């Protein structure tokens, strides 16, 4: 690999390490410090400018490798003429050279594309982690640790209310059926005629 592609690969490995650390199930305090540190770094103007410039260069390399991987190159080679004289013409690359160049261009295309994708994913992950930390702090400040116990007590009270409502429904159903039977007595003669 050339020097700039080795640097791109190093950036790719660094971004993958950052994403891995961000997505690890770390304790609340450690995650909060990581997010605060990353936002502190992002607020530094020089670092932000350096990241933007590197992203622009990687984007240009992405476009260049995309163009190169989708075109069929012609090269100028010397051909032997009929009298042994060299005539210069355009010939296609040999298949092994063509495949090697196509492989290198596609490799560069994928490496730069993944670097750009992870470059956009890291800020998104940081924003989501910041929201998670914020909501965890809100949850801890409002309910504390007793929220589960209070929810269980409320659930038990609701279960008791449901049981009493079911008993009331059964009692009302019986009373309604008794009154309906008293108002409209069913006789044996009407059953036989029907």
> Does residue 192 lie within any of the structural domains?
no
Tell me, yes or no, whether 137 and 159 share the same domain.
no
> Does residue 134 lie within any of the structural domains?
yes
> Does residue 156 lie within any of the structural domains?
yes
Distance between CA atoms of 151 and 137, rounded to whole angstroms? Answer: 19
Nearest to 64 by CA among 1, 5, 3, 16: 5
Output the CA–CA distances (angstroms, integers) from residue 47 to 38, 39, 66, 139, 181, in the order listed.
Answer: 11, 11, 28, 34, 86
For the entire predicted model, the pTM comes to 0.60
Tell me, yes or no, whether 138 and 149 share the same domain.
no
State how many domains the chain has.
2
**Residue 159 lies in domain:** 144-184
Output the CA–CA distances (angstroms, integers) from residue 76 to 87, 88, 95, in the order listed.
Answer: 11, 7, 15
Tell me, yes or no, whether 18 and 112 share the same domain.
yes
Q: Report the run of H or E that residue 87 belongs to, with start and end.
A: strand 86-92
Tell me, yes or no, whether 178 and 95 share the same domain.
no
- Cβ atoms 111, 12 nearer than 8 A: yes
pLDDT digits (tens, 9 = 90+) for 112-142: 999 999 999 999 999 999 999 998 888 887 7
pLDDT digits (tens, 9 = 90+) for 26-67: 998 999 999 999 999 989 999 999 999 999 999 999 999 888
């Amino acid at each position: 690999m050339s020097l700039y592609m080795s640097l791109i690969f190093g950036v790719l490995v660094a971004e993958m390490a950052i994403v891995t650390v961000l997505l690890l199930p770390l304790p609340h305090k450690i995650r909060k410090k990581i997010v605060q540190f990353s936002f502190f770094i992002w607020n530094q103007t020089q670092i932000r400018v350096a990241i933007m410039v590197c992203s622009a260069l990687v984007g240009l390399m992405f476009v260049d490798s995309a163009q190169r991987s989708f075109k069929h190159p012609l090269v100028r080679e010397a051909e032997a003429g009929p009298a042994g004289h060299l005539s210069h013409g355009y010939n296609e690359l040999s298949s092994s050279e063509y495949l090697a160049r196509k492989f290198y261009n596609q490799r560069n295309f994928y490496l730069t594309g993944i670097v750009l994708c992870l470059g956009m994913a890291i800020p998104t992950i940081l924003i989501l982690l910041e929201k998670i930390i914020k909501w965890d702090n809100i949850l801890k400040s409002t309910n504390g640790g007793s929220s589960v116990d209070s929810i269980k007590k409320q659930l038990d009270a609701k279960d008791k209310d449901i049981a009493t409502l079911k008993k009331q429904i059964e009692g009302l159903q019986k009373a309604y059926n008794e009154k309906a039977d008293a108002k409209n007595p069913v006789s044996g003669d009407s059953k036989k005629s029907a």
